[in-house]
Amino acid sequence: MIKDLGLLAAGVVLLYAGGEIMVQSATRLALLLGISPLVIGLTLVAFGTSAPELAATLVASFKGLGDVAFGNIIGSNIANIGLVLGLVALVSPLKTTFRFVTQEMPFMLFVSGLLFVLGRDGYLGRLDGFIFLSLLGLFLFFLFKRDKTIESLADNEHKNSRSKIFLYAVGIFAGIGLLSFGANVLVEGAVNIARHLGISERVIGLTMVAVGTSLPELVSTLVAAYRRAGDIILGNIIGSNIMNILAILGLTPVIKPFSFSKEGVTIDLSIMIFFSLMAWAMLAHKKTVGRLKGAILLGAYILYVLYLYK
């Protein structure tokens, strides 16, 4: 048991380190290429912080742990809104734009609803994966087409751009390596603990693995909150939820289709959509998520975890 707890802790640390290296490298690369902060949050930072979920889901899928693989994504999306957005709003109230409320948030709800439809049968196959990946391609196309790039960097920054691009690319691949190894360690430790305690793999995936793989989102958004970078915060959280569904549940079944227990799937997906709707309503109201709204989100997440372990 102690060994398994050690594996779990080591996996979380490796995931955090890998995610942090990847996020920093990806963000700096995006800035070097002149991409706006909101798009950075919705794409590179979101995908970077979702990389732990990708690694953990792929590992769980190959090990035949479908409940952990699927539960990890659902639990991560719930944690991103309830835990991450709730905590960040308590630290620093967030403001958003009309465009974000009327475009990015509804799209997140749409893909969440699509997952509800495709995932209720307890199986995600290659066709499901291709549908998600196609939507991801369309999302990225329209996002970059609509984006207005930030001002180009000064000439002295461009002189060393090639070496910087190479350095940041190395950082991204180094982060991926740490994430892959950390995910394998995390999944092994979490599943062993589940078996020792008699806890279902579904609950472990929804909580322990989900929170562990959501740590990069939590840390990066807390840092962004401290720096008052609201666009990157909301872009990261909402973008991560979109990436979790379209990229991770798109790529994983294309590589290896997997099945999971139907028990609780409808409830889990409904709760995920409920948290998404709650966040949308809060952002639509005055386009702000203050400390009271953050406390409500965090309180709802705590109640959800207590419900799972009752």
How confident is the model at residue 165, as a pLDDT? 77
User: Which domains are delineated in the chain?
Assistant: 2-308 (1.20.1420.30)
Q: Which residue has the higher pLDDT, 27 or 21?
A: 21
Query: Burial letters for 189-199: b for 16+ Cβ neighbours within 10 Å, e otherwise?
Result: bbbbbbeeeeb
Lowest mean pLDDT among 20-29, 122-131, 259-268: 20-29
Residue 178 has pLDDT above 70, yes or no: yes
- Write the pLDDT tens digit of every residue in 44-56: 777 776 777 787 7
Mean of pLDDT over the chain: 81
- Outline where the chain has alpha helix (H): 2-33, 37-40, 46-62, 66-79, 86-91, 98-99, 105-119, 126-146, 155-158, 161-197, 201-204, 210-226, 230-243, 249-255, 265-284, 291-308
First to last CA, the chain: 22
d(CA 302, CA 241): 19
pLDDT > 50? residue 153: no
**CA angle, residues 278, 54, 87, in degrees to nearest 5:** 35
Angle made by CA atoms 43, 30, 173, in degrees to the nearest 5:
80
Given a contact cutoff of 8 angstroms between Cβ atoms, the answer to whether 19 and 197 are in contact is no
- pLDDT computed for residue 155 by the predictor: 45
Asked if residues 204 and 71 have their Cβ atoms less than 8 Å apart, the reply is yes
Question: What's the CA gap between 279 and 47, in Å, rounded?
Answer: 20
129 strand-pairing partners: none
Alpha helices in 120-160 (DSSP H): 126-146, 155-158
β-partners of residue 238 are: none
pLDDT greater at residue 278 or residue 19: 278
> Whose CA is closest to 307, among 189, 187, 207, 192?
207
Determine how β-strand 258-259 pairs with β-strand 123-124: antiparallel
Amino acid, res. 37: P
What pLDDT does 156 receive? 44
Residue 11 above 50 pLDDT? yes
Q: Are 116 and 269 in contact (CB under 8 A)?
A: yes
- Global pTM reads 0.78
Please give the Cα distance from 183 to 96 (Å, whole number). 33
b/e per residue, 126-159, with b = 16+ CB within 10 A?
Answer: eebbebbbebbeebbeebeeeeeeeeeeeeeeee
For 140-152, what is the mean pLDDT? 67
| pLDDT of 10 over the 50 cut | yes
How many Å apart are CA 10 and CA 239, to the nearest integer?
27
| Residue that wins the pLDDT comparison between 90 and 29 | 90
Look at 178 and 90; give whichever has higher pLDDT: 90
